[in-house]
Amino acid sequence: MSTDENEGDDELLGSPGEPRLGSLDSDENLIELVKALYPRKPHCLVENWTILRADVTDEELQKIHAAGQLPLVLFAHNVRFDSERRFDVGDWVRSTFAVSFEDGFLFETRNTIYVMTGPGHEKSVSLKTIFSFF
């Protein structure tokens, strides 16, 4: 592989990023909370997660904001629960861009509320690397 082909791997695997902490509450309490806050939206509890902050140009950022989104994508190594059963327990998941990020653990996309549990990380990566996970 060339250096360019390895660049995305290095961005994601090279270092874990800045430590962050999701919710430490029980799954049952978190499910009740998300149902109360977002009653019509599917939700997914995840652990061992990383928030990928897109390293974008001003022009790219304007386009992301114009679409009503934030330059944040969630990657989780482990799904603990999915209300719609789209993912099995233990699956990994990568979200689309966030539309909101609340309380340090409620990561909302257009279609799903991801509830980040336990320790995780945040790191800046290129859009190319983020989109390589489709």
How do residues 91-134 score in pLDDT, each as one tens digit?
999 999 999 999 999 999 999 999 999 999 999 999 898 888 65
- Do 122 and 104 meet the contact criterion of CB atoms below 8 Å apart? no
Kindly indicate the confidence band of residue 15, based on its pLDDT and cuts at 50, 70 and 90.
low
**Ramachandran region, residue 119 (left: φ > 0; alpha: ψ -120 to 50; beta: rest):** beta
- The token pair at 64 is 């992301």
Mean of the pLDDT values across residues 51-70? 96
- Separation between Cα atoms, residue 25 and residue 10, nearest integer Å: 33
Q: Where are the domains of the chain?
A: 3-131
How do residues 18-52 score in pLDDT, each as one tens digit?
999 999 999 999 999 999 999 999 999 999 999 99
